[in-house]
Amino acid sequence: MGLLSHDDTLRELSAVSLSEIAIKNAIGKLTLPWESVLTGIADLQIRVLPYGSGHARFLFGLPLHHRDPFDRQIIAQALAENIPVATPDSNFGLYKGLSVIW
């Protein structure tokens, strides 16, 4: 059983990820209705983290290990909040100070 499936694990999702889902839906790369997203958030007891200027400031000086703007925003937010990121993307591990789970 993985860490994310433990009842006492706090599951958080960046609002940036919701934007990415919406954009990928709009361009046809994903088919995931908003209602399904909301159901998943509720079922998994996920807290959605807002993204603000305090997070964006971490983009300044962030190395270009990624060019994907969504990934970079998620990394900046995780660094600002000092929270780990669950991802199979090995490039996330290149960012100093970022804790990666996977």
Instruction: Write the pLDDT tens digit of every residue in 44-75.
Output: 999 999 999 999 999 999 999 989 999 999 99
Domain 3-101 in CATH 3.40.50.1010? The answer is: yes
Whole-prediction pTM value? 0.88
pLDDT band at 4; cut points 50, 70, 90:
low
- pLDDT tens-digit map of 22-50: 999 999 999 999 999 999 999 999 999 99
Give percent above pLDDT 90 in the chain. 88
- Whether the pLDDT of residue 1 is over 70: the answer is no
| Contact indicator for 79, 98 with CB cutoff of 8 Å | yes
d(CA 74, CA 100): 12
- Say how far apart CA 43 and CA 61 lie, in whole Å: 37
Domain spans, the chain:
3-101
